[in-house]
Structure 1
Amino acid sequence: MSSTENFECGYIYHIYSHANGGELIFREEENYKYFLDKLLKYIIPISEIYAYCLMPNHFHLLIRFKDLDQISNGNEHACLMKQFSNLLNGYAKAYNKRYGRKGALFMDFLKRKKVNDEKYLIKLLHYIHNNPASHGLVENINNWKYSSYRSYINWYKPSEIERKEMMKYFETVNDFIEYHKSNVDYDFMSFE
């Protein structure tokens, strides 16, 4: 599965991007909140978000594109990609203005992989939520505020995250928590 694969409606994707060079995408709490606001504005209308994690220099999203009837020209990829372009460009412009910087904030292209396998899907959920611990930012993933993990364990609270679909793989919230504490082999997952 190529990282330049075209987007298609109805499919699940792992989407991720890194900061350009050694820079940070998020320097302070306001940055994370602003990015999440933009995510809701541009991505929720075209997709269901199953999971996300925002890290200081990169982010991960696990989404399923909605079946959009309004795409009449047949170019699903361009229509869906436009929303991501709006998200990333809007964020980068505000970030550059705030910190007096110029140039590209994100790497040249948005990396993406279509998810066609349930085992891979569940491992991605684990990988995305455990990213802050894997990078040594926290010991307990519940302490990272910028991922969808807390939305799942606080099941009773309203959320923009589509939790029902992923919770089908777990009998209880406690099973979900225990799965995230387990060691999962990511060897077959390649992140270019």
Structure 2
Amino acid sequence: MRVIQTIEPGYYYHIYNCGINGTNLFNGSDNYEYFMGLYEKYIYKVADTFAWVLMPNHFHALIRIKDVEDIVENINPERVQNPFGVCDAEKITKYVTQQFSNLFNSYAQAFNKRNKRHGSLFEKPFKRKRVDQANYFKNLVLYIHNNPVHHGFCQHPIEYPWSSYLSCISIKPTKLRREAVIGWFDGMANFKTMHNEKVEVIELEKWFEI
């Protein structure tokens, strides 16, 4: 029986999920854009994002749940009152999990309405794995960015528009934790070099226990 990890403040996680029974989650660019808009609405206030990719029937993200104080401040910037009481970690954990549920439920409702379908869209519960090894960060970024290459959608991550790779190599403002990611690769040159090399996605999947 698979043990579902609790999402706790201050930790890194690999978040991933797919469409139920392999169904597509995204049918066009407007779907991808709408999902990312909801992601910004619900997730950015509780988590920092370091890498992501949206594929037609699944997605991956590397995130870090914000510290308790930052989550509380994002909910109540004026700090007039802590909505969770004094360091109520259990309530905060439930709130973070609820934000992910809000993301998936909101997207599924809109997707179902537009496509005249009913029922669940995402596998439940969504999958999460705590990241606690130094090598995991860099390899997971490579895995996420090379997912479109592995599935035959492009020859190089730069050709795929629905991942964080383009934000990583850009100089445009972004909410992605770009500097931290580039730092894991010891600089932009090495980041690009390692993304130019062939990545054995299947071997990484075994390592990540996907």
Place the TM-score, normalised by the shorter chain, in its bin: over 0.9
Give, in angstroms, the shift of residue 97 of structure 1.
0.5
Task: Give the letter for the 2:187 counterpart.
Answer: T
Deviations 1:130-165 (A, max 9, x none): 0000111111111110000000111x1111111111
SS for the counterpart of 2:15 is strand
1:4 equivalent in alignment to 2:42: no
State the match for 2:208 in structure 1.
Answer: 189
Moved more, 27-36 or 159-168: 159-168
State the match for 1:116 in structure 2.
Answer: 132
2:191 maps to which of 176, 179, 182: 176
Moved more, 118-127 or 167-176: 167-176
User: Percent identity at matched positions?
Assistant: 38
- Superposition RMSD on alpha carbons, in Å? 1.4
Report the CA distance shift for 1:140/1:26 in structure 2 as closer, same or farther (over 3 A).
same
Query: What are the equivalent positions in structure 2 for 1:79-90 lying under 5 Å apart?
Result: 79-90=95-106
Task: Give the letter for the 2:108 counterpart.
Answer: A
Give, in angstroms, the shift of residue 170 of structure 1.
2.6
Task: Point out the structure with the larger helix share.
Answer: 2
Give, in angstroms, the shift of residue 189 of structure 1.
1.8
Cα separation, 2, equivalents of 1:31 and 1:19: 14
State the match for 1:146 in structure 2.
Answer: 162
- Flag structure 2 segments of 5+ consecutive residues without an equivalent: 73-83
Report the CA distance shift for 1:120/1:3 in structure 2 as closer, same or farther (over 3 A).
farther
1:94 maps to which of 110, 132, 145: 110
Give, in angstroms, the shift of residue 3 of structure 1.
5.9
Query: What are the equivalent positions in structure 2 for 1:8-23 lying under 5 Å apart?
Result: 8-23=8-23
Task: Give the letter for the 1:174 counterpart.
Answer: A
Give, in angstroms, the shift of residue 167 of structure 1.
1.4
Cα separation, 1, equivalents of 2:182 and 2:195: 13
Runs of 4+, deviation exceeding 3 Å: none
Cα separation, 2, equivalents of 1:148 and 1:96: 26
Give, in angstroms, the shift of residue 77 of structure 1.
2.6
Task: Give the letter for the 2:55 counterpart.
Answer: M
Task: Give the letter for the 1:116 counterpart.
Answer: D
Moved more, 169-178 or 104-113: 169-178
Structure with max Cα Rg: 2
The answer to whether the 8 A contact 2:49-2:64 is kept is: yes
Cα separation, 2, equivalents of 1:133 and 1:3: 30
State the match for 1:65 in structure 2.
Answer: 65
Task: Give the letter for the 2:184 counterpart.
Answer: Y
